[in-house]
Structure formats: structure tokens, C-alpha cells
Structure 1
Amino acid sequence: MGTVSIRRVYEPPAAGAHRILVDRVWPRGLSKEDAAVDLWLREVGPSTELRKWFNHDPERFEEFARRYRDELAGSAAYARLVEEARAHDDVELAYSAKDTQHNQAVVLLGLLGEESL
């Protein structure tokens, strides 16, 4: 089994990692070439309603994580993410949020850690 990590999409990718963008909306001001993503799995990102409710407020993060996990439960997008994580030695979940501790990639990393990859 390889590793799964997270990194802002504005930063250069880790060498040799399979980079998956997990944002529903394309990152502002970033070309597809500069993003260097192997896969844009937009459907795994939080719904527009949940994203707007959360509004990157750290005080809402625990509730955001709970609601986001509920959204992902049984979804084809999350199943695809698990498949990708199993198929590659090193996977990097890329996200655009400025807050590196309170975002959907943190939640996804935790979920994937619970899987038997």
C-alpha cells in the first residue's frame, strides 16, 4: 500500500505522486498545466450548499466534517477515490483552500485512513 497525502493545488506536486484535485470548483487563477493534476474528481468535493454553509469557518469544521461524511456515504465519487488510492502507490489530494487544517481534503484523508487500502 502506498501513501495518501494532501497539498494545496497551488504548490508543486510531490514527485511521483498521482495528484487528484478534490475541489468541486476549479481553483481561481490556476491553469490546468500549472495545477499538474492527474485527475479532477469534482464530484467528491462538498456540495455547493455545504461549502457555502461552512464558508471556511474553523468553528464550523467539526459539523462540516460530519455533514460532508454523510454526503460521501455510499457515493460513486468516494468509491472512485478509494479505487484511485488503491491503484497508485502514492496519492496526493490537492485542494485550493488557504486553511490547511480545515478543508475537505483533511476529511478525505481521514476517511481514506479508515479504509483498508
Structure 2
Amino acid sequence: MELRCKRAYENASAEDGFRVLIDRLWPRGVSKEKAAIDLWAKGIAPSTELRHDWHAAPDADFEVNAERYRAQLAAESAPALQELVEELKGRPVVTLVYGLRNTEHNHAVVLAEVLRPLLG
């Protein structure tokens, strides 16, 4: 399985495979048609507090926020994570879609890191 990350503001393409929006809020200004989302996994998104912290200083506190998100995935979002794993198993290509501007320091990168060993 190939797991990719892509901003919601980039054009969807056939190569994206199964597209999963992993934000709690729908990206501003992006139509449902343009987004071409197959699954909106709100339950896997960072908590409101963590989302605010990530937006405030995405680079400066990345490791701190990443660790907080991993802890959230292990505890609060564990059922949502398991549901997502079951939904994604067997799909050849999955793209995690997110709204943050920073393409290197965001929750999609952390979620992909958590999902890879679970999806084999």
C-alpha cells in the first residue's frame, strides 16, 4: 500500500487513490467536488486545542505537537484510528488530505507515520 499526504487546496488526481480528509473542519473555499473526498475522518483529527496550537506555531513546536497528537491517537482517538485502519486495508493508494499550509510539519505526516505499520 502507498500512503500519501496532500493539501486540500491542491488539485485532486486519479493517482491519489482513496482520499481521506483528516481535518475536523472542512477546508475554507474548497468545494466538495474539487476536494473529491472519499471519506471524512473527523474523529482522527487533532483536538480543537491541539489544532489551534499547531496553527499558531507549526514549525517551532512540531515535535511537541506531534507527540501530543500521537498520545491523542493512542487514547482518545483509538476507536477512530482502528475504524480508519479497517477502512484503508486493501486499498493500493491512500491520500491523507489536510488543510494546513506547512507540508512538512503537520498532523498528516504524523498520522501517516502511525498508520504505516498498522496497514502493513
Fold-level similarity (TM above 0.5):
yes
CA RMSD of superposed structures (Å): 1.4
Moved over 3 A (4+): none
User: Could you tell me which residue of structure 2 aligns to residue 112 of structure 1?
Assistant: 115
Q: Does the 8 Å contact 1:14/1:92 carry over to 2?
A: no
- Structure-2 separation of matches of 1:107 and 1:73: 12
Q: Does the 8 Å contact 2:19/2:96 carry over to 1?
A: yes
SS in structure 2 of the partner of residue 23 of structure 1: coil
Question: For 1:34-62, what per-residue CA distance to the aligned partner results, in whole angstroms no more than 9, with x for missing partners?
Answer: 11000000110000011112325211110
Q: TM-score, normalised by structure 2?
A: 0.89
Offset, 1:102: 0.9
- Structure-2 separation of matches of 1:96 and 1:4: 17
User: Could you tell me which residue of structure 1 aligns to residue 52 of structure 2?
Assistant: 52
Q: Which runs of structure 2 are paired with 1:1-117 in the superposition (5 Å)?
A: 2-16=1-15, 17-57=17-57, 58-74=59-75, 75-117=78-120
Aligned length: 116
Report the identity percentage: 43
Question: For 1:1-27, what per-residue CA distance to the aligned partner results, in whole angstroms no more than 9, with x for missing partners?
Answer: x21111111112241500000001110
Q: Which runs of 5+ in 1 are unaligned?
A: none
Q: TM-score, normalised by structure 1?
A: 0.91
Q: Does the 8 Å contact 1:97/1:103 carry over to 2?
A: yes
SS in structure 1 of the partner of residue 104 of structure 2: coil
Q: Does the 8 Å contact 1:4/1:109 carry over to 2?
A: yes
SS in structure 1 of the partner of residue 19 of structure 2: strand
Offset, 1:115: 2.2
Q: Which runs of 5+ in 2 are unaligned?
A: none
Q: Does the 8 Å contact 1:56/1:103 carry over to 2?
A: no
